Amino acid sequence: MKVIYRDKIVDRSDVQIDIEDRAYQFGDGIYEAVCFYQGKLFTFDEHIDRLFRSAEKLEIHIPYSREKFRELLEELIVKNNASSGIIYLQVSRGTQPPRSHIYDEDLECVLTGSLVEKERDTNHIYNGEKAIVLPDERWLNCDIKTLNLLGNILAKKKASRLGAYEAILARDGIVTECSHSNVHIIKDGVFITHQADNLVLHGITRKVILEIVQQLGIPIEERDYTVEELKAADEVIISSVVSEATPILQIDDKQIGNGKRGPITAKIQTAYEKRIEKECGITL
């Protein structure tokens, strides 16, 4: 397999990460996940812009241009002869011996990237999933896409053990997001989602869906909403690069709506697919 290492495409076996790398020792770094369909990147600019925003907030200097990132990602797809899937990018603050909580300010970051081939799981997207509600025990800067995902991992694992696809997280009764996706509800024709503050990741798929909802003329409320509102919703949608816009049909032991994909969710999904086709110049 070919991977990205710093500013080149190399064989995976040729990559060596130092034991003193701060990503390994402290989770001191950021990441992004960019989807591609039939060899074409989707929402590349939005993901790379967020990568640079996360880096700026953590004072990590990325020496590569956005144009260089596009060149690397497109080359990675070609050299792996891949069709559809996800490219994961990781930026470590760098290597700093000896181990210290106080980071040097002139470290050279380490960029790595790998590709996972994955076809669209339309059965999952169209037919929906189950979720559970768990306490949101993560830190208070969830808008930064860092490598520190232990809270997310533990929540996702608990959901999996209970036969659920996703864990929906809540702080003091207020729904924030999920273990690896944003969550939105529809009630009486209104699309409701948590505001883009420090308690949620500002999802790129969330951004696209909000644009679609506005284009469809559906009223939008970006606000706090409770677990009670979540379970009383007419429709519930989770969104991410993998899930796109997936309906949640059951939360804990409560059925959502009639237990099937709702009409507004279906409209959003159709429009989302058209957005992919237009941006990538393909037919799904």
- Residues with a known catalytic role: 31, 145, 177, 201
**Nearest CA-CA partner of 130 in 255, 279, 258:** 255
Task: Check whether the bond before 98 is cis (ω within 30° of 0).
Answer: yes
Provide the pairing of β-strand 254-255 with 166-171.
Answer: unpaired
- DSSP assigned state of 186: E
CB 241 within 8 A of CB 34: yes
Residues in Cβ contact with 223 at an 8 Å cutoff, skipping those fewer than 6 apart: 192, 194, 195
- DSSP assigned state of 284: -
Helix (H, G, I), strand (E, B) or coil at 52: helix
